[in-house]
């Protein structure tokens, strides 16, 4: 097993050994240094820390581990963003499985990202290198190696997490028994890239962005970040929900705002309290880079080469990742199970809300 350093929130540290699970409280955020990583663009990111949380117990054979790949603005605390999924008798049954969720590199919830301190003692800011989905998976592989997990029973994730899970299947079939990709795709589409580019432009156009080096300033690009989130949130939900839920109703205060404006303002403010603008850009650009067929002969050839079982979950009202994108994966992966389509009024966010249906799909993936 490769040696590494685990640091808990209580600032306890130890070399990684077979006893590392014995003193960590389940669900506590922990920190693991995985060293350096050569990125797809040829740059080397040094001294990488991965924040993660875990539930359940890794068995002696180390063959009951589940890797959960969080979505773009998610983080390592699965119950915090995906309720009713982890615990005894739940889809990620902690009586049977060891469930682990690392925060992605480029993130802002403890893993090395633009807001982290660089080797020179200053925050990375604008100097943080560009990342791809494959870079994120590379960090997850190094993280798994450091913990001595040679193979996962299942790699599963929604949206950005589904991209990473699919990359595991294409690149590392010997390291994962099966995958479940939810509301995701094999390649970023022109529509997705276009919408994402507008969000990035909104952040970079904020006068308080300072080229990405705003950490020492009195104010960061809060307004630009808020605009980006408002745009994104509309793509996460559905036109019918916005109309039925809000319509043309006014907020009922002295602002003259429509109720839907107030709702979007609230979503923007919530994210601004816990998310870094540079991370928003870094992860968005990584999602734009997603192409399972890059250097593999194209999407069809790459998907046809996947040999492990794949469960693909589609949300019928998803306008960010429309169902045709999941149908493509199901059609082209030889070992794919029949496409699972979940009916939801909530669009892309259905993966967060329709937990019973999503849970059933995960249970079926674990049974493969």
314, pLDDT greater than 50: yes
The DSSP annotation for 21-39 comes to TSSSPTT--EEEEEEEEE-
Strand-pairing partners, residue 102, are: 52
312 close to 329: Cβ distance less than 8 angstroms: yes
CA distances from 190 to 46, 193, 195, 196 (A): 33, 5, 9, 10
* DSSP one-letter code for 261: H
User: What would the two tokens of residue 265 be?
Assistant: 């303002």
20, pLDDT greater than 60: no
Catalytic residue among 159, 185, 344, 364: 159
24, pLDDT greater than 60: no
Catalytic residue among 318, 344, 349, 364: 318
Indicate whether this model's pTM tops 0.75.
Answer: yes
Q: Is 24 a catalytic residue?
A: no
Q: Return the half-sphere exposure (C-beta side, CA atoms, 13 A cut-off) of residue 128.
A: 32
Lowest pLDDT segment from 24-28, 94-98, 259-263, 320-324: 24-28
61, pLDDT greater than 70: yes
Q: Is 174 a catalytic residue?
A: no
Burial of 24 (0-12, 13-18, 19+ CB in 10 A): middle
Complete domains list, the chain, with CATH: 5-188+291-366 (3.40.50.1820), 191-287 (1.10.1740.110)
Burial of 38 (0-12, 13-18, 19+ CB in 10 A): exposed
Write the pLDDT tens digit of every residue in 116-162: 999 999 999 999 999 999 999 999 999 999 999 999 999 999 999 99
Per-residue confidence band for 357, with pLDDT thresholds at 50, 70 and 90: very high
31, pLDDT greater than 80: yes
Write the pLDDT tens digit of every residue in 170-206: 999 999 999 999 999 999 999 999 999 999 999 999 9
Write the pLDDT tens digit of every residue in 155-178: 999 999 999 999 999 999 999 999
**C-alpha 128: how far from chain center:** 19
Write the pLDDT tens digit of every residue in 241-279: 999 999 999 998 888 899 999 999 999 999 988 999 999
26, pLDDT greater than 60: no
pLDDT at 253: 86
Catalytic residue among 54, 111, 348, 364: 348
The proportion of the chain whose per-residue pLDDT surpasses 70, expressed as a percent, equals: 93
Burial of 174 (0-12, 13-18, 19+ CB in 10 A): exposed
100 in helix, strand or coil? strand
pLDDT at 27: 62
Per-residue confidence band for 15, with pLDDT thresholds at 50, 70 and 90: very low
pLDDT at 255: 85
Q: Is 233 a catalytic residue?
A: no
98, pLDDT greater than 70: yes
2 close to 36: Cβ distance less than 8 angstroms: no
User: What would the two tokens of residue 74 be?
Assistant: 């998610």
Cα 217 from Cα 232, distance rounded (Å): 26
Q: What angle do CA 216, 217, 223 make, to 5 degrees?
A: 130
Cα 16 from Cα 24, distance rounded (Å): 12
The phi-psi region of residue 347 (left if phi > 0; otherwise alpha if psi is between -120 and 50; otherwise beta) is left
Read off the pLDDT of each residue in 283-296 and give the average, rounded to a whole number: 98
308 close to 169: Cβ distance less than 8 angstroms: yes
């Amino acid at each position: 097993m490769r040696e590494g350093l685990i640091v808990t929130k209580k600032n306890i540290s130890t070399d990684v050994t077979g006893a590392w699970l014995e003193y960590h409280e389940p669900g506590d955020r922990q920190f693991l240094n995985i060293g350096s990583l050569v990125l797809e663009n040829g740059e080397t990111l040094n001294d990488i820390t991965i924040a993660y949380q875990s539930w359940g117990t890794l068995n002696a054979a180390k063959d009951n581990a589940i890797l959960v790949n969080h979505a773009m603005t998610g983080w390592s605390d699965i119950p915090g963003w995906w309720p009713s999924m982890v615990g005894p008798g739940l889809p990620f049954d902690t009586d049977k499985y060891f469930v682990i969720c690392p925060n992605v590199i480029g993130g802002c919830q403890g893993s090395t990202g633009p807001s982290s301190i660089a080797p020179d003692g200053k925050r990375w800011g604008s100097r943080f290198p560009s990342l791809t989905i494959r870079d994120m998976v590379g960090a997850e592989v190094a993280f798994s190696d450091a913990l001595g997990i040679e193979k996962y029973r299942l790699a599963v994730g929604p949206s950005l997490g589904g991209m990473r899970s699919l990359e595991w299947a294409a690149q590392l079939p010997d390291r994962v028994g099966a995958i479940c990709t939810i509301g995701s795709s094999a390649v970023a589409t022109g529509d997705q890239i276009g919408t994402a580019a507008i969000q990035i432009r909104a952040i970079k156009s904020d006068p308080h962005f300072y080229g990405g080096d705003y950490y020492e300033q009195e104010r960061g690009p809060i307004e630009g970040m808020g605009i980006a989130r408002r745009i994104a949130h509309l793509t996460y939900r559905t036109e019918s929900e916005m109309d039925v839920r809000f319509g043309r109703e006014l907020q009922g205060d002295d602002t003259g705002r429509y109720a839907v404006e107030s709702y979007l303002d609230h979503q923007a403010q919530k994210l601004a309290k816990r998310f870094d603008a540079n991370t928003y850009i870094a992860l968005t650009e990584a999602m734009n880079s997603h192409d399972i067929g890059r250097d593999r002969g194209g999407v069809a050839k790459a998907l046809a080469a996947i040999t492990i079982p794949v469960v693909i979950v589609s949300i019928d009202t998803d306008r960010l990742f429309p169902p045709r994108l999941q149908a493509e994966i199901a059609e082209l992966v030889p070992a794919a199970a029949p496409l699972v389509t979940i009916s939801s009024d909530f669009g892309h966010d259905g993966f967060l809300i329709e937990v019973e249906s999503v849970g059933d799909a995960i249970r079926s993936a674990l049974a493969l």
